[in-house]
């Protein structure tokens, strides 16, 4: 249940702190005092949209905090799945900065709005007048039946399978689309693959060929240079080796009496040995170099093929051509496997569809089984609410295709008058009738929906007198099993609360401010008397107020 609500800098509210209680909490006040403002602020911590125009002081941020007692509602798993700290007394906070940025927290852990909304649906339901319009929507009507029938868990299981079915359907369509596209291009893809496969490309090949091309193109020049270098190194009379040997001879003569000559001799010997190796290698290279026009032609032809393929496919390297070949190979292989893949997916889809049809059929049967009880229960409540000739029924139609909620299309049929055939609810029900019908539904659903708190924002719109008293009785009966916060303008309903709050506007400080207070017994008498007679209190109104409170004391 909602234990405490704190609001700061929201619309007409500077600072407001309200403690709520178990049972029926009544909230009254003049039109424009700010009752809906309080509900709007509460909507923020339940995941509602945040806008800067709600800021009372545009230079400051807005804060709304709600403390909820949730120890009896088995929410530990939800908190664990969403990495939230669980406490029986849980604090939800929403902050809006002066620039319009919004942040939400659960027990001081940041959460996104999607998570906040899911949590909110588990702990509180706010019903305002415009929600009566939901009664005309088939999806809402179906949710009513499922909640009343205790089928929400089974429908949730069905929805998981339905999402799998949709995902598999989309996957199959995408595979067929790709198969058609690859099929239309298959001849060209196979031609490209054949061309690249026959090229037998190898990584690094282009660089090797270009180096070989340079060598073959300059073979004559290379051979002449190698020959000249070899003769210079090996000539008997003038070779470098001969000169180095002469230097060795001179150094050996002076070593006995000139020690620095010894290391110099070692270095010269090393140079001569190295020079001999260089000369041998020059000779080997000279002997290996051939002037081969045929090999050069082959190399040029191979490079022309590579450059042609690079230009054709607008690529920059042989490695990229090899990658393209692998991609084309996979496309051809994929197309060859498409038939088997499509057949496998179609079998999976047919199996899943059959399972969904079975699940949908079972859910439909359970819905229809509980529907007569729902219809009769609503009619009984409507009669209690001053509609003695009301009739209500649920019309089922089978969907031609699977739906996220099963195989049923439902329509609520309604008539408020004797001997008038039932018609679609949206076509025949007035605002007051919709309010009473919605209240009837809500009172039935709370028995099957483990919800801590429900808030009614003037659900009694369009009723008065004896009907208002009966509306109040139903609301009070709901409060026996859950916390109810009810905003009302009717004294017949206000007198039935366990606790009564007055919302009022303070205009004395120069700016209008919304305030709220919990009324003491005598203050409550005065407030209900004003609701009966207006600002000018009469003795009769006071007597009537005391009488109403005494009659409804709980």
What pLDDT score does 298 carry? 80
**Reported confidence tier of residue 237, pLDDT bands at 50, 70, 90:** low
What pLDDT score does 444 carry? 84
**Reported confidence tier of residue 391, pLDDT bands at 50, 70, 90:** very high
For residue 394, the cross-strand partners are: 412
Please tell me whether residue 436 adopts helix, strand or coil conformation.
helix
Can you tell me the distance from the alpha carbon of 409 to that of 423, in angstroms, rounded to the nearest whole number? Answer: 16
Supply the CATH number for residue 379's domain: 3.40.50.300
User: Do both 30 and 153 map to the same domain?
Assistant: yes
Residue 325 lies inside a defined structural domain of this protein: no
User: Do both 293 and 362 map to the same domain?
Assistant: no
User: Do both 35 and 140 map to the same domain?
Assistant: yes
What integer is the mean pLDDT of 466-493?
A: 88
Residue 179 lies inside a defined structural domain of this protein: no
User: Do both 31 and 88 map to the same domain?
Assistant: yes
User: Do both 203 and 302 map to the same domain?
Assistant: yes
Residue 257 clears pLDDT 60, i.e. is over it: yes
Residue 236 clears pLDDT 60, i.e. is over it: no
User: Do both 490 and 364 map to the same domain?
Assistant: yes
Contact in structure between 462 and 431 (CB atoms under 8 Å):
yes
Residue 131 clears pLDDT 70, i.e. is over it: no
| pLDDT per residue as tens digits for the range 76-119 | 988 999 999 999 999 999 998 888 888 999 999 999 999 999 89
User: Do both 541 and 486 map to the same domain?
Assistant: no
**Reported confidence tier of residue 354, pLDDT bands at 50, 70, 90:** very high
User: Do both 498 and 531 map to the same domain?
Assistant: no
**Reported confidence tier of residue 230, pLDDT bands at 50, 70, 90:** low
What integer is the mean pLDDT of 405-419?
A: 91
Contact in structure between 138 and 409 (CB atoms under 8 Å):
yes
| pLDDT per residue as tens digits for the range 243-252 | 777 777 778 8
What integer is the mean pLDDT of 166-171?
A: 94
Q: For 272-340, give the DSSP string.
A: HHHHHHHHHHHHHHHHH----HHHHHHHHHHHHHHHHHHHHHT-SSHHHHHHHHHHHHHHHHHHHHHHH
Domain that holds residue 127: 2-163+354-519
Residue 333 lies inside a defined structural domain of this protein: no
Residue 144 lies inside a defined structural domain of this protein: yes
What pLDDT score does 227 carry? 67
What integer is the mean pLDDT of 41-61?
A: 84
Can you tell me the distance from the alpha carbon of 272 to that of 265, in angstroms, rounded to the nearest whole number? Answer: 11
Residue 320 lies inside a defined structural domain of this protein: no
Strand ranges for 51-200 from DSSP E = 62-69, 89-96, 102-106, 109-111, 124-128
**Would you state the structure tokens that stand for residue 24, as one six-digit string?**
């029926």
Backbone angles phi, psi at 250, to 5 degrees: -65, -40
Residue 371 clears pLDDT 90, i.e. is over it: yes
Residue 408 clears pLDDT 90, i.e. is over it: yes
| pLDDT per residue as tens digits for the range 181-202 | 766 677 777 788 888 888 888 8
**Reported confidence tier of residue 175, pLDDT bands at 50, 70, 90:** confident
In the chain, the number of structural domains is 3
What pLDDT score does 255 carry? 80
Please tell me whether residue 464 adopts helix, strand or coil conformation.
coil
Pairing of strands 483-487, 453-457: parallel
**Reported confidence tier of residue 520, pLDDT bands at 50, 70, 90:** very high
Residue 535 clears pLDDT 80, i.e. is over it: no
What pLDDT score does 505 carry? 87
Q: What percent of the chain has pLDDT over 90?
A: 31
Residue 222: closest CA among 297, 296, 275, 274:
296
Residue 364 clears pLDDT 90, i.e. is over it: yes
């Amino acid at each position: 249940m909602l234990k405490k609500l704190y609001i700061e800098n929201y619309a007409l509210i500077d600072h407001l702190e309200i403690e709520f209680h178990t049972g029926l909490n009544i909230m009254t006040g003049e039109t424009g005092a700010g009752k809906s403002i309080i509900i709007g602020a509460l909507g923020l911590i339940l995941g509602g949209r945040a806008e800067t125009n709600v800021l009372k002081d545009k230079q400051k941020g807005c804060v709304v905090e709600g403390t909820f007692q949730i120890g009896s509602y088995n929410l530990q798993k939800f908190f664990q799945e969403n990495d939230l700290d669980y406490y029986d007394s849980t604090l939800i906070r929403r902050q809006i900065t002066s620039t319009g940025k919004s942040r939400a927290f659960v027990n001081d852990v940041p959460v996104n709005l999607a998570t906040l909304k899911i949590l909110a649906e588990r702990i509180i339901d706010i019903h305002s007048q415009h929600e009566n319009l939901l009664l005309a929507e088939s999806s809402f009507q179906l949710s009513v039946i499922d909640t009343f029938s205790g089928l929400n868990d089974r429908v949730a299981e069905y929805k998981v399978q339905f999402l799998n079915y949709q995902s598999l359907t989309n996957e199959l369509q995408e595979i067929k689309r790709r198969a058609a596209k690859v099929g239309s291009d298959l001849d060209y893809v196979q031609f490209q693959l054949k061309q690249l496969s026959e090229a037998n490309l190898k990584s690094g090949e282009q660089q090797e060929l270009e180096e070989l091309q340079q060598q073959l193109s300059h073979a004559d020049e290379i051979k002449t240079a190698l020959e000249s270098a070899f003769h210079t190194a090996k000539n008997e009379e003038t070779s470098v080796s001969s000169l180095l040997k002469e230097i060795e001879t001179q150094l050996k003569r002076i070593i006995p009496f000139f020690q620095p000559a010894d290391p110099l001799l070692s270095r010269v010997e090393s140079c001569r040995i190295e020079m001999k190796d260089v000369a041998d290698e020059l000779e080997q290279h000279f002997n290996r170099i051939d002037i081969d026009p045929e090999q050069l032609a082959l190399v040029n032809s191979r490079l022309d093929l590579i450059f042609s393929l690079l230009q054709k496919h607008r690529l920059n390297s042989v490695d990229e051509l090899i990658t393209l070949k692998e991609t084309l190979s996979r496309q051809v292989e994929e197309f060859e496997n498409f038939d088997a893949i499509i057949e496998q997916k179609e079998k999976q889809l047919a199996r899943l569809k059959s399972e969904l049809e079975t699940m949908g059929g079972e859910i439909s049967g359970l819905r229809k089984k509980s529907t007569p009880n729902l219809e009769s229960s609503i009619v009984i409540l409507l009669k209690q609410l001053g509609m003695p000739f009301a009739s209500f029924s649920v019309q089922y139609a089978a969907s031609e295709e699977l739906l996220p909620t099963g195989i049923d299309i439902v329509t609520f049929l309604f008539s408020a008058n004797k001997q008038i055939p039932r018609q679609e609810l949206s076509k025949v029900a007035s605002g007051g009738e919709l309010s009473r019908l919605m209240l009837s539904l809500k009172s039935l659903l709370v028995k099957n929906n483990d919800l801590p708190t429900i808030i009614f924002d003037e659900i009694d719109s369009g009723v008065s007198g004896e009907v208002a008293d009966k509306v109040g009785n139903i609301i009070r009966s709901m409060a026996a099993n859950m916390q109810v916060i009810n905003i009302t303008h009717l004294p017949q309903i206000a007198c039935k609360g366990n606790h009564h709050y007055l919302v009022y506007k303070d205009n004395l400080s120069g700016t209008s401010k919304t305030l709220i207070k919990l009324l003491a017994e005598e203050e409550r008498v005065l407030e209900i008397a004003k609701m009966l007679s207006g600002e000018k209190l009469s003795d009769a109104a006071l007597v009537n107020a005391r009488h109403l409170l005494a009659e409804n004391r709980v």
